[in-house]
Amino acid sequence: MMTDPSKNGVLTVQTLRNNIMASSLLATAAITLSSVISVFVSTSSSSESTSTQKLSSLPLSSIKYLCVLLCFLVGFICNVLATRYFAHTSFLATLPVWTDKTDYVKYVSVTLNRGSYFWSLGLRAFYLSIPMFLWIFGPIPMFVCCCLMSSALYFLDTTTSSTQLVLGASLKEEGERTNDVESIVQSSENSGREDFDHLRSPLLTADSASAS
């Protein structure tokens, strides 16, 4: 897509803009939930400080809320960094570049991969906050949630060998089809150029003969 920024630049910017909007939404949700948890913990701590019987259970509950708060803070930071890298990539990908500048293309791809990496980390922080939140209600809900989430992430983040074979075969067929189309277009252009030269040659010879 970077070989022709004037043609593919709009598509590149729109695709990266969607990622930026998603990262901004997750960052806003993370910092909002962090603020709500902080207010709730400070309010509950002030109310529990008046009772000596509830004071003994305060450290454990504070640790639970702190774990949830850290998950959302990590998610906020990762999503902010993902937004930063996606925005930086949107500037770099639309600059005019030639096909022989592989170092520049590699730098842009590395920047895009960093944004995707921080996006994945921010999303994992949101996933981790769910069992941490259920930990407040006891260890059994947390354990059940961890088992269910591990199973779900296994099916979401892994691909089977048959899927890889199907994807590889489809990419190979697409590449062969593209090469066939390019060869057909080139042959048609060459034949059209030859026909044009054949039609033009008698006129040139006639003009040269009349001029002489």
Please, what is the Cα angle at 169 between 177 and 172, to 5 degrees? 35
pTM (predicted TM-score): 0.66
Domain boundaries, the chain: 5-158, 162-212
CA-CA distance, 86 to 90, in Å (whole number)? 6
For residue range 159-169, what is the model confidence (pLDDT) as tens digits? 666 556 666 66
The predicted-structure confidence for 23-48, as pLDDT tens digits, reads as follows 999 999 999 998 888 888 777 766 65
- H helices present in 97-138, as ranges: 102-134
